[in-house]
Amino acid sequence: MHHSPGYPTEVRLIRDNICCWPVRLLCRVLDVHPVGFYTWLQQPHSPRYQAGLRLTGQIKQFWLESGCVYGYRKIHLDLRDIGQQCGINRVCRLMKLCWDKEKDLRNAGGSPQRYF
């Protein structure tokens, strides 16, 4: 039984491993049809995901302008001041995701400022 592209876990796993393994082999092992994988791969990101990317850019900008000291509460207030509507929990979650990426890069010896 082949899964439809509605199973993003399998297709994300395939996408993340195509540098090491052939797509057809990964699809066969994960029981995903190759056509379904390529269809999923070409779908645009959801509007919420795209809005999250824009919001993350604004968060990064405010954080850098603060001298890299503002927390999610002050960043949230800055976003409200410019008319950006979003919840404080979303700001916290996005900053936490960015911080985790930064921490991983710091541990790997990369430059965290590029990725905040």
One-character DSSP codes across 36-74: HHHHHHTSPPPHHHHHHHHHHHHHHHHHHHTTS---HHH
| Position with higher pLDDT, 40 vs 103 | 40
**Confidence tier at 116 by pLDDT (50, 70, 90):** very low
What value does the mean pLDDT take over residues 64-83?
94
Q: How far apart are CA 113 and CA 53, in angstroms?
A: 17
- Residue 104, pLDDT score: 56
- Residue 98, pLDDT score: 80
Residue with tokens 């049809």: 33
On whether the pTM is more than 0.75, the answer is no
Buried b (16+ CB within 10 A) or exposed e, 68-92: eebebeebbebbeeeeeebeeebbe
Residue 11 has pLDDT above 90, yes or no: no
**Contact between 98 and 60 (Cβ < 8 Å):** yes
Q: How far apart are CA 30 and CA 37, in angstroms?
A: 11
Q: Domain-by-domain residue ranges, the chain? A: 8-41, 47-114
What value does the mean pLDDT take over residues 87-110?
75
